[in-house]
Amino acid sequence: MELAKIEVTPLDNRGGRVEGKKFKVLFNPNSYSITKTVAWNSIGSSGPAITRTNGKVNAPTLFFAGGGSRLLNLELFYDVTEPVNDVASDDVRKETNKVVELTRIQKDLQRPPAVEIAWGAAPPARSDFPFTGVVSNLVQRFTLFSSDGRPLRATLTITVTEFLDPVLDQRQTDPEFTTRRIKRGDTLSAIAAENYRDPSLWRVIAEANQLDDPRDLRIGRTLTIPKRG
C-alpha cells in the first residue's frame, strides 16, 4: 500500500478546492508543529472598566482578548537524484516551484491563494488536518547541484497561517448561526423553502451572500442562511 503523503490543494475565491492544481509533496516531513496563541489581558491594560476590590490579590484579573491564528510549520525535503515514482527529473525546482506558486499573487484572486493541506484519512474532528491557511513564510535551501548548476536537492521551511472561512467559523462558535453547503440540483428558492418554508424568500439568501446572479450556485460553496424573526 502506498504511503499517504501530504496533499496540498489551492482554494478559489469562494473557498472551493481547485482540484486541477492539487499536488503531493515529494517526501513527508519527519515532524511538524502547530502553534496557537490565545490572548488574555489584565484589568487596567486595555480591558473593560471593572470596579477594583479592596485587598491584595496574587495575580491580576484577566479577560479574554481573542484567539490568534494557528501556525503550521513544516520542513519538506526534496531530492531528484533518483527517480521518484519512476519519474526522473533533472531540476528539483520542478517540484519546489509548486510550493513557490502558493506565495505568488494570482490574477483572479488579487492575492496568493489559500490552501487546504491534508495528511491521512479520517482524522479525529477538529484535528490538525486538514489545515486551511496561507503560506506566510517560505525559505528554500538548495544543497546539491548538477555539473551544469541545476539544483537537485532542497529543503523547504514553510509556515502556513490559518485562514478561516468566517461563515464556517461563526457557525462553530454560534449555534444560532446557520449555513448551507450547495449540492447538485440546489436552487435558492428550494433552499429558502427548506429553511423558511417559503420559496419566495430566496432574495434574503441572495442578498446575504451577495449573489448578483441567483442561478450562479457553485457546488460546494457555503451559503449564509440569515435567521428569520
Q: What is the average per-residue pLDDT within 122-140?
A: 87
Task: Give per-residue pLDDT as tens, 39-71.
Answer: 888 765 544 444 455 556 677 788 888 888 999
More confident residue, 143 or 63: 143
C-alpha cell at 196: 423558511
Name which of 93-97, 133-137, 155-159, 162-166 the model is least confident about: 162-166
In the block, which residue shows the cell 451572500? Answer: 209
**Closest by Cα among 120, 118, 108, 116 to 133:** 116
Question: What is the 3-class SS of the chain, one letter each residue?
Answer: CCCCCCEEEEECCCCCECHHHCEECCCCCCCEEEECCEEEEECCCCCCCCCCCCCCCCCCCEEEEEECCCEEEEEEEEECCCCECCECCCCCHHHHHHHHHHHCCECCCCECCCEEEECCCCCCCCCCCCEEEEEEEEEEEEEEECCCCCEEEEEEEEEEEECCCHHHHHHHHCCCCEEEECCCCCCHHHHHHHHHCCHHHHHHHHHHCCCCCCCCCCCCCEEEECCCC
Give the per-residue pLDDT at 60: 78
56 domain-assigned: no
Say whether both 212 and 105 belong to one domain: no
**Residue partners of 216: CB distance under 8 A and separation at least 6:** none
Per the structure, the complete domain to which residue 190 belongs is given by 168-225
Q: What is the average per-residue pLDDT within 94-112?
A: 94
Say whether both 23 and 110 belong to one domain: yes
Q: Which CATH number is 173's domain given?
A: 3.10.350.10
Say whether both 183 and 133 belong to one domain: no
Task: Give per-residue pLDDT as tens, 146-199.
Answer: 999 999 999 999 999 998 755 545 544 555 557 788 888 889 998 888 888 888
Say whether both 140 and 180 belong to one domain: no
Say whether both 111 and 148 belong to one domain: yes
Q: How many domains does the chain have?
A: 2
Q: Of 164, 185, 210, which marks where a domain is finished?
A: 164
Say whether both 123 and 91 belong to one domain: yes
